[in-house]
């Protein structure tokens, strides 16, 4: 497997698709009513879970793509920056995967019949009322917040490279092909 210097069009498309889906997911999540004992899920919850499953599928595809199509680290970065960048990227994958799966567990523990975009009923991942499911539900919310913090760090680092360091780090993932000056 040969490492390339720049991300492929597929890697870029998957990256930006996840960005769009996560923005959508956070907007839906913030618009949802607070979850109270005994409540039944409304349309917002169905949309939230549905997009969560799409995010899960896309992030799995993106992870497989990343593992099978490695990209060389930016050579202009100091060793600590390369290590930090790798750590943040892998944490992003982990948090997106964990947050989506834990959300599904949470819905299952509540006993909610959830469908994918109002069509296909999803299987339950745990029994209704399970203590594990309730515990996992709390982690879903906390991990969603941790993911938002990590995304903010990721975006801030990208802009730091664009504005302060003025290197080509951010351009490696921009949708348009980068041109050498």
Angle, nearest 10°, between helix axes 43-68 and 79-109? 140
Structure tokens given for 84: 């930090």
Looking up tokens 């913090």, which residue turns up? 149
Phi, psi angle pair for 40, to nearest 5°: -105, 150
Taking the C-alpha atoms of residue 20 and residue 11, their distance in angstroms, rounded to an integer, is 14
For residue 59, the cross-strand partners are none
Written as tens digits, the pLDDT of the chain (181 aa) is 555 567 888 999 999 999 999 999 999 988 887 777 777 778 888 899 899 999 999 999 999 999 999 887 776 778 888 899 889 999 999 999 999 999 988 888 888 887 899 999 989 988 888 888 778 877 998 999 999 999 999 999 988 888 888 777 777 777 765 454 3
Residue 3 confidence (pLDDT): 52
- Helix count (H) and strand count (E) of the chain? 4, 2
Residue 4 confidence (pLDDT): 54
Residue 112's closest CA among 39, 55, 51? Answer: 39
Residue 176 confidence (pLDDT): 65
Residue 18 confidence (pLDDT): 96
Residue 180 confidence (pLDDT): 46
């Amino acid at each position: 497997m040969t490492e390339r210097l720049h991300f492929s069009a597929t890697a870029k498309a998957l990256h930006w698709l996840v960005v769009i889906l996560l923005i959508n997911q956070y907007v839906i999540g913030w618009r949802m009513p607070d979850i109270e004992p005994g409540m039944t899920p409304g349309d917002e919850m169905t949309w939230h879970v549905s997009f969560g499953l799409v995010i899960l599928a896309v992030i799995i595809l993106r992870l497989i793509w990343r593992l099978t199509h490695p990209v060389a680290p930016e050579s202009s970065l100091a060793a600590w920056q390369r290590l930090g960048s790798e750590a943040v990227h892998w944490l992003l994958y982990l948090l997106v995967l964990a947050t989506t799966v834990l959300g599904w567990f949470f819905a299952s523990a509540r006993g909610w019949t959830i469908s994918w975009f109002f069509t296909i009923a999803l299987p339950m991942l745990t029994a209704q009322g399970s203590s594990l499911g309730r515990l996992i539900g709390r982690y879903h919310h906390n991990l969603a917040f941790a993911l938002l913090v990590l995304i903010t760090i990721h975006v801030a680092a990208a802009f730091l490279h664009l504005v302060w360091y003025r290197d080509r780090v951010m351009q490696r993932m921009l949708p348009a092909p980068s041109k050498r000056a």
